[in-house]
Amino acid sequence: MRVRPYLLAAAFLAGCAPADKVDALEQRVATLEDEVKTLKANPSAAKTAAANSPEEAAAEELLKEIAALTRDGKYEEAKTQLATLKGTYGATTAYKKARKLEQELDVIGKAAPPSWEIEKWYQGQGNIDLTSSKATLVVFWEVWCPHCQREVPELEATYKSLGPQGLQVVGLTKITKSATEEKVTEFIKEKGVTYPMAKETGALSEYFGVSGIPAAAVVKDGKVVWRGHPARLDEETLKAWL
């Protein structure tokens, strides 16, 4: 039997442990080494083991609770629970999945930006006041984004339905990647979008915590009252702010 040097050192420090205990210890180490080799050879197995851990399970349950609170508009409770998720289970996959939701919740309650930071209005001429008592739906999009290509035109129906009741809608683009002003104007015309559209500097995207598009926010009485994906909004929800 080949006894590893560190096992001999351990046995010496333990007062020369009996041979059978050294054998058992060596066998245990060999087993652990084999398990490590297996996990290294099969990373998916390691991920599966981590995903099935008690910590991950508890974190996932907490994340579901946070998502439910957010859907119900209980934002302060959601923020409190999210802080618990971060503090207790910050190393879990569940918390990583919650990072975007964390960004959105951080924006809710902020005062409306002091200025529009608009480079150019394509239509609407900037007659929207975020500090007014009216509810304003702000949509961030880019013409190359497939999901934006669906959501931006669909919001036209919402604008036509709720605009007369006081809802303001504005679309904001930064003209990134393959986008050009010509493509934006063509898209607006082709899809029949009539609500205000503008090119922003990027400051508004940063202010509203936009890390992916499409993204939306609702501003009411000079404060951000909602933040998320535009597909999560429906007319009944928006009516509550009118």
Residue 112 placed within a domain: no
How many alpha carbons fall within 13 Å on the CB side of residue 192? 5
Pairing of the two strands 197-200 and 118-123? antiparallel
First to last CA, the chain: 81
Q: How does pLDDT run across 154-163, given as a tens digit for each residue?
A: 999 999 999 9
Please count the structural domains in the chain.
3
Domain extent for 17 = 5-41
| Joined tokens for residue 107 | 């924006």
pTM, to two decimals: 0.76
Q: What is the CATH number of the domain that holds 170?
A: 3.40.30.10
Q: What is the pLDDT of residue 36?
A: 56
My answer on whether 101 and 132 are in the same domain is: no
pLDDT band at 8 (very low <50, low <70, confident <90, very high): very low
- SS3 call for 136: strand
Is 129 part of any domain?
yes
Mean pLDDT to the nearest integer, 93-103 = 93
Contact 182, 77 (CB under 8 A): no
